[in-house]
Chain A
Amino acid sequence: MEEVLVDKELTILKKTVRSFVRDKVERAELLQKEHITELSKDVADTLKETAQKTGLQAMGAKKEWGGAGLSLSCRTVLYEEAAQHRLGLFHPAGDAFGEELPRFLENCTKEQINTYVKPAIQQGKGCFVALWEEHEDNDIGKLTCQAVKDGNSWIINGHKAYIDKFQEAGFGVILVNCLGESGEKQPTLFILEHNDSFENKETVLIDVQKVNSLSFNGMKISDDRRIGNIGDGAELMKEWITEAQVLLASRCLGVAVKALDYAKSYAKIRITRGQPLSDFPSIRTMIASGYVNLQAARLMVQDAAKKIDERAKDAATAAGMAKVFTTDTASKIIDDCLQIHGGAGFAGDLPIERWYKELRIARMNLQKKENIIEHIANLNL
């Protein structure tokens, strides 16, 4: 049973996250003098220890696995806070709270949970998800990576791409099409270990995010690594996408809040043509519209989270809507924030240029706008 917090408890928790981010994470970022692109391992480990002491760890994982078991509605509120620092969009609170684990792990066997899930939670590690392929990062039905049965094992062939936080994860999960007797595709999930015999290549997206691609050339994997039933993989992945879309959106809210803070402070002190930028209607409109859209986005995120918590029928649609609207809104806010700062926004001394790159990734992550819009069209027409 997920923990339902009353407003007062959530407010306290939110404040705890806020002070952790401001006092510990932002401070750690500022102490690294050079242009910071990641936290050093020592700093990250220290943050993790501190977070563990305050109980801020594995917020979404089930209590019996060693997590906090918080509902998604609560987590969206907390992640909006946790993302409010330079590295916050993809490393909320400097990753100190550990990674969010996909809900489909609930389908793991007891043995799988003891071997993979619980140790990962204890170490604050996550689970990498090998889902997309180099030229297919939107439609699960079009994926080509496949597995054929070989006694008590499966032989996997194909490739997977754009895997985030690969090294940092404790283990991974891959979606492959198991071929049935008449050649039908049965999408299925399997657990991966780092030392499985796949080829691994690292690349960097838009000069900011490390991702890995994996190649499988006849890799043999035992059937006891399978999660759930054969053929259930696509549905389980869709559940993950739905939840991950809302979590991504909640972090986008946090970064947008921070960007508006930067924009406001700078607009008030920067003088051009005899008056502060904050006196110019163009600038005032950018900032005010930012607040309007941000509030609309926040309500959509909360709505989607609530529907997922309640397992409502339209939860996936609500999550898709929230993802599209929030990533677009945060992109516009950060674009305007960069414009207000001029050259200083283009420079890496401030975090704005990093967010500009990361938002371009966020717009593409977990299905791009065109696909989500098509899904909504299908539902309504």
Chain B
Amino acid sequence: MLNFSESAEQKRMIELATEIMEEHVFPNEKYMVPHRGLPSEILKPLQQIVKEKGLWAGHLPKEVGGMGQGFVSLGLLSEVIGQSPIGPYVFGSMAPDAGNGEILWHAATEEQKEKYLIPLANGDVRSCFGMTEPEVSGSDPTTLQGTAVKDGDEWVINAHKWFTTGAVGSAFCIAMVVTDPDANPHNRTSLFIVDTNNPGFEVVREVPVLGDHYVGGHCEVRFNNCRVPAEAMLGNRGEGFKLAQLRLGPGRITHAMRWLGVARRSMNEMMKYALNQKDGDKTLADSQTVQNFIADSEAEIQASRLLTLQAAWKMDQGDQARKEVSLIKLYGAQVLNNVVDRAIQVLGTYGLTPNTPLEGLYREARAARIYDGADEVHRMVVARQLLKEFKAKEGLNEQAAVTK
């Protein structure tokens, strides 16, 4: 049986979140600072409102102050709060903190949870994730070069990273480095929690980038003979790749649903403008070309939305849904870029001015086709998985069944 309706509880959550967005989030967007987000004197009281209404940290379990409602609910909430670049910060589920919180929940020791997860989950501190390196392809994390070498009771980390998002102002960084160079490629790396006030941790610079919605910049960082105690290892030795993957699955659901929020916002901007803009006796909205933009955008948004919610539903059933997650990453990022581009096209040069949110959304959107796996990588994952399923299920001479 198929059922596409939200539960009573999900409906209540969506209504409440929408109310907070309209009353508290959209009106405060004007205080946003590029690469820094909202000043904390504005952000903190808004976060308090979200906490009081019980919508804080949708990605985390109740034990650490989150909502613990599963992936479908998390997806539905992400769609609402994703409409504003500051939404995820106000609701305590922004990248990279959300993913870091998830890893810590799954892999941290009790002491690590107490020291890092609790303040992170509470929104008292921010964090960053040091994986991507400028020297090697981000699409292939088995090629990472940064190392940690055991020295007595300590590990000594030497690494050069970039796109360590949010490093400026972070309390700690989760670093992915090679501890076992001779192991097979997927077991060579481990994760370490590094306090950013460690003298061996250096923020080299904030890399200038196309988009400016992420707080704390996209930084180049160095670990210079950075010494951490043995207890700083997160999870088991050699599990870096596995844990990083664990971070990415749920992250792609929140990203994809958040992108739909951005697409919906852009669509609204496009329709509002088209209806208000007079063209003789008519409005821009009477133009078939503009109507085509609207209809095509809606088709893509709906398709991406159902794809994403289905992947979330599968994950709620305990399935990793790898193929589905790759599909939504690939398709959702493209839909996002298409819809924002069409909205700007309707507004004309006005859509490129800072008078509407569109130009900022357009710049930020381009990254979605790169981070957490470029389009090309996800196409490969999807195709390989389908070919594997086909070979396993069907004799080559039989007619192929539609896979579910």
A residues with a Cβ closer than 8 A to B are 35, 132, 134-135, 137-138, 142, 161-162, 203-207, 270-273, 277, 280, 282-283, 338-339, 342-349, 353, 356-357, 360-361, 363-365, 368-370
For A206, what are the chain B residues with a Cβ–Cβ distance below 8 Å? 352, 359, 362-363
User: Which residue of B138, B208, B348 is within 8 Å of A348 (Cβ)?
Assistant: B208
User: Which residue of B210, B289, B374 is within 8 Å of A339 (Cβ)?
Assistant: B374
- Beta-carbon nearest neighbor of A338 in chain B: B366
- Beta-carbon nearest neighbor of A352 in chain B: B210
CB of B267 closer than 8 Å to a CB of A? no
Given A205-B359, A206-B362, A347-B218, A353 contacting B370 (CB threshold 8 A): no
A360-B207 in contact (CB<8A): no
Nearest 7 Cβ contacts at the A-B interface: A348-B208, A272-B137, A35-B208, A353-B210, A205-B352, A206-B359, A137-B349
16 contacts between A and B (CB under 8 A): A134-B350, A137-B348, A203-B353, A206-B363, A207-B360, A270-B137, A272-B140, A280-B376, A282-B376, A339-B374, A346-B209, A346-B218, A349-B207, A357-B363, A364-B349, A370-B345
How far, in angstroms, from A283 to B374 measured CA to CA in the complex? Answer: 12
Number of B residues with CB within 8 Å of any CB on chain A: 41
For B366, what are the chain A residues with a Cβ–Cβ distance below 8 Å? 338, 346, 356
CB of B375 closer than 8 Å to a CB of A? yes
B208-A347 in contact (CB<8A): yes
CB of B93 closer than 8 Å to a CB of A? no
- Beta-carbon nearest neighbor of A274 in chain B: B140
B348-A368 in contact (CB<8A): yes
A343-B362 in contact (CB<8A): no
- Of A270, A272, A361, the most chain B CB neighbours within 10 A belong to A272
B134-A344 in contact (CB<8A): yes
A342-B137 in contact (CB<8A): yes
How far, in angstroms, from A271 to B142 measured CA to CA in the complex? Answer: 12
Contact with A along B346-384 (1 / 0, CB 8 A): 001110111000011011001101110011100100000
For A346, what are the chain B residues with a Cβ–Cβ distance below 8 Å? 209-211, 218, 366-367, 370
B247 → chain A, closest Cβ, in Å? 17
Contact with A along B238-267 (1 / 0, CB 8 A): 000000000000000000000000000000
B349-A347 in contact (CB<8A): no
A368 → chain B, closest Cβ, in Å? 7
Given A206-B363, A346-B367, A347-B218, A339 contacting B349 (CB threshold 8 A): no
How far, in angstroms, from A35 to B279 measured CA to CA in the complex? Answer: 42
- Beta-carbon nearest neighbor of B367 in chain A: A346
- Beta-carbon nearest neighbor of A273 in chain B: B140
B289-A370 in contact (CB<8A): yes
How far, in angstroms, from A287 to B19 measured CA to CA in the complex? Answer: 48
If over half of B's interface residues share one DSSP class (helix, strand or loop), that class is named, otherwise mixed; here it is mixed
For B371, what are the chain A residues with a Cβ–Cβ distance below 8 Å? 343
How far, in angstroms, from A342 to B369 measured CA to CA in the complex? Answer: 9
A343-B349 in contact (CB<8A): no
How far, in angstroms, from A191 to B108 measured CA to CA in the complex? Answer: 71
A278 → chain B, closest Cβ, in Å? 13
- Beta-carbon nearest neighbor of A35 in chain B: B208
How far, in angstroms, from A283 to B134 measured CA to CA in the complex? Answer: 20
User: Which residue of B207, B354, B367 is within 8 Å of A203 (Cβ)?
Assistant: B354
For A207, what are the chain B residues with a Cβ–Cβ distance below 8 Å? 212, 359-360, 363
Given A203-B354, A344-B134, A349-B208, A360 contacting B349 (CB threshold 8 A): no
Given A35-B208, A135-B277, A347-B207, A205 contacting B353 (CB threshold 8 A): yes
CB of B139 closer than 8 Å to a CB of A? yes
A6 → chain B, closest Cβ, in Å? 40
How far, in angstroms, from A333 to B209 measured CA to CA in the complex? Answer: 19
Given A205-B359, A343-B370, A346-B366, A132 contacting B349 (CB threshold 8 A): yes
For A272, what are the chain B residues with a Cβ–Cβ distance below 8 Å? 137, 139-140, 143
How far, in angstroms, from A360 to B341 measured CA to CA in the complex? Answer: 9
B152-174 with Cβ < 8 A to chain A:
162-163
How far, in angstroms, from A353 to B370 measured CA to CA in the complex? Answer: 13
How far, in angstroms, from A308 to B289 measured CA to CA in the complex? Answer: 30
How far, in angstroms, from A339 to B350 measured CA to CA in the complex? Answer: 27
B25-55 with Cβ < 8 A to chain A:
none
CB of B127 closer than 8 Å to a CB of A? no
For B359, what are the chain A residues with a Cβ–Cβ distance below 8 Å? 205-207
User: Which residue of A273, A277, A280, A361 is within 8 Å of B352 (Cβ)?
Assistant: A361
A271-B363 in contact (CB<8A): no
User: Which residue of A134, A137, A270, A339 is within 8 Å of B370 (Cβ)?
Assistant: A339
How far, in angstroms, from A316 to B52 measured CA to CA in the complex? Answer: 63
CB of B285 closer than 8 Å to a CB of A? no
For A273, what are the chain B residues with a Cβ–Cβ distance below 8 Å? 137, 139-140
CB of B128 closer than 8 Å to a CB of A? no
For A365, what are the chain B residues with a Cβ–Cβ distance below 8 Å? 349
- Beta-carbon nearest neighbor of A270 in chain B: B137
A342-B374 in contact (CB<8A): yes
Given A135-B277, A207-B212, A348 contacting B362 (CB threshold 8 A): no
How far, in angstroms, from A346 to B366 measured CA to CA in the complex? Answer: 8
- Beta-carbon nearest neighbor of B207 in chain A: A347
How far, in angstroms, from A162 to B353 measured CA to CA in the complex? Answer: 9
A324 → chain B, closest Cβ, in Å? 13
How far, in angstroms, from A348 to B366 measured CA to CA in the complex? Answer: 14
For B134, what are the chain A residues with a Cβ–Cβ distance below 8 Å? 344
A343-B132 in contact (CB<8A): yes
Given A342-B370, A353-B210, A368 contacting B362 (CB threshold 8 A): no
For A364, what are the chain B residues with a Cβ–Cβ distance below 8 Å? 344-345, 348-349, 352
- Beta-carbon nearest neighbor of A335 in chain B: B366
For B352, what are the chain A residues with a Cβ–Cβ distance below 8 Å? 205-206, 360-361, 364
B320 → chain A, closest Cβ, in Å? 21
How far, in angstroms, from A358 to B360 measured CA to CA in the complex? Answer: 14
- Beta-carbon nearest neighbor of A34 in chain B: B208
For A342, what are the chain B residues with a Cβ–Cβ distance below 8 Å? 137-139, 370, 374
How far, in angstroms, from A142 to B321 measured CA to CA in the complex? Answer: 53
Known contacts A360-B352, A368-B348, then 17 further A-B pairs from the complex at CB < 8 Å, ordered by chain A residue: A35-B208, A161-B349, A162-B349, A205-B352, A205-B359, A206-B362, A207-B363, A273-B140, A280-B376, A338-B366, A342-B138, A342-B374, A343-B162, A345-B370, A346-B367, A356-B366, A361-B352
For B208, what are the chain A residues with a Cβ–Cβ distance below 8 Å? 35, 347-349
For B362, what are the chain A residues with a Cβ–Cβ distance below 8 Å? 206, 360
How far, in angstroms, from A161 to B350 measured CA to CA in the complex? Answer: 9
For B138, what are the chain A residues with a Cβ–Cβ distance below 8 Å? 342-343
For A280, what are the chain B residues with a Cβ–Cβ distance below 8 Å? 376
